[in-house]
Structure 1
């Protein structure tokens, strides 16, 4: 989902590093994807150098979706984050790994994309339901890490520690699983195109929400993450045409 969203957003190439046990399944899903095989059934320390070398050939790396939290995977993710020299979008299971040691991301070019539950694991702070209650905790975490935090929710809250933006696009139908992966892919492509982490996170949240709204208009309230991906080009078109 991350890779397909990246491509729909305008990435030239999207490379998926996946365990050998599922690499061919991913290849069969779309001929647009470039799949590179990891050496075991899960991401493990033996893959660290390989993944970092792949990342060096790319403009940005997304880490987290679909990883799992096996002990060897946690070790590998920690080392990849610590040693990466590329901008990163950190999501899903990689956020759970990061919650064990926030210092590993300090000094990195990173966008974190937690939902409220993942934010609580990172900070110990249980967020209130209203977006106004969430703005200061998000800004505080971004400032502490010197990173961009994109808190997903009914309204998304984005901060780089100084600036705060609230995104109001989207629909309740987007609570379906996978739309966060779509957002990560969008964010990564915009970072690759602009180099602006905060701006990319803000625009990605906006476009993701518009794509979700368009998907709901077409399919009704019961949409899939892949429906949102299919609407990304139309979301760009709608925005550009005003």
Structure 2
């Protein structure tokens, strides 16, 4: 399972390579140039590359650019280096490779404007690396705009203008066709919008010591098909519907019965043997018609169409039956329902998945989370309320806030977004599947049902979260190719989820 690093972890790795293992920065920089030049020599681009412009900044990322130019020159490419700054401003290691390029009589243009009249087969972006955040200065932005006029763009480590931890991008950011990242992928390359600016990403070994597991902070990993393949086991040939997992669903209200349907079917299509669904009595007929494979448990509601405090006992009686419980999709924000949920959270002792309106009690009382064995599945708006911060603050420092939550609460947290993020204790996971087509009503309900089903089948909370998030995104990718991203709706996912399960049956 591929490791990924935050900006701080990447800096720590770089610092410890020098301080603890006596690996000089010049050596790492030289290896970086070798790796990038080797990649380019394989000609993985849409057109054959002969002429190359390397655009270099003044720091170590610029040094990687000079080192790349040196190696490309040895491979007989026609290389020009455009150093945005005069060589007097270069970092020590970068200056070493600037001088080597000069000694090799490679064309170097210092402190100039972008060469608008010149054209190249490939541009290598080596302006800014992992230290960037915020907005680019004007003198860099004009180079970024020129770089983006080209069809083949390779970035060293990260695209200029991209925050390597958050994935946020400057108004002007290099839009790469390829990114060669040093040592390990950086989180910002894996999280949108940064992922879309990074093109095809490849990690290269440049000689860092094997100490990634010793770095401070959360151990971040990428969820891919290989990871999921290693977790899911084929069904036991002697199994039965009770052994396949019993799921209990508290979802839906007047006007939002579809949430109960989608979450229940998400659970059934993910292999749950039995699904019981609570229904407000006045809506029970709708539930029974829509969720024909589920068992409906009617709750008195006096025609109001929502769950109430007086339903507590019947709900808790059924909890003992269940292997896992899902609470939240479409429950609404009525005070009676929120009070009911608070009572349930104070008393429940089963594995729990909490989605959407099920999160309402936690906004005013996060201490409820300290005793629960649960998975939370908020989108950005819900997560910002849960953490009592603005949406802008959340997006800017998503990783920091996720790490803070993981250190404070025992819950597994799935932050739903393009490239969803999962954290628990000292482990973090970035999903690699999915697309913008999932930005439509009900897809989160399907996901919550999937997570609950895998928990009921015996997978732990983290495994269930990773499995479900990946398959959910994978199915969306497949369906978007058949339909379109724009036209995808939540119910499109259900049959494809079932079909995708065939992969794990042998």
TM-score (norm 2): 0.46
Q: Which structure 1 residue ranges, 5 or more long, are not aligned?
A: none
**Stretches of 4+ moved more than 6 A in 1?**
129-132
Structure with bigger helix share is 1
For the 8 Å contact 1:183–1:205, the answer to whether it is kept is: yes
| Deviation of the 1:234 alpha carbon | 2.5
Calculate the aligned-residue CA RMSD, in Å.
1.9
Alignment of 1:1-242 (within 5 A): 1-40=262-301, 41-126=305-390, 133-221=397-485, 222-238=487-503
Which string of whole-angstrom CA distances, capped at 9 and with x for unpartnered residues, describes residues 156-184 of structure 1?
00011210000021111110100001110
**CA pair 146-239 structure 1, distance change in 2 beyond 3 A:** same
Tell me, what secondary structure is at the counterpart of 1:66? coil
Which string of whole-angstrom CA distances, capped at 9 and with x for unpartnered residues, describes residues 142-199 of structure 1?
3212110000001100011210000021111110100001110110011111241111
For the 8 Å contact 1:116–1:126, the answer to whether it is kept is: no
Larger RCO (CA within 8 A; separation ≥ 6): 1
CA distance in 1, matches of 2:327, 2:481: 31
Q: Size of the alignment, in residue pairs?
A: 241
For the 8 Å contact 2:450–2:468, the answer to whether it is kept is: yes
Tell me, what secondary structure is at the counterpart of 2:289? helix
TM-score (norm 1): 0.93
Bigger Rg over Cα: 2
| Deviation of the 1:100 alpha carbon | 1.4
Which string of whole-angstrom CA distances, capped at 9 and with x for unpartnered residues, describes residues 114-167 of structure 1?
111000110123356998942231232132121100000011000112100000
For the 8 Å contact 2:312–2:343, the answer to whether it is kept is: yes
| Deviation of the 1:238 alpha carbon | 4.6
CA distance in 2, matches of 1:164, 1:120: 19
For the 8 Å contact 1:154–1:168, the answer to whether it is kept is: no
Partner in structure 1 of residue 213 of structure 2: none
**CA pair 239-116 structure 1, distance change in 2 beyond 3 A:** farther
Which string of whole-angstrom CA distances, capped at 9 and with x for unpartnered residues, describes residues 82-139 of structure 1?
1111111011011122211111121211000011100011012335699894223123
CA distance in 2, matches of 1:102, 1:129: 19
Tell me, what secondary structure is at the counterpart of 1:31? coil
CA distance in 2, matches of 1:30, 1:217: 28
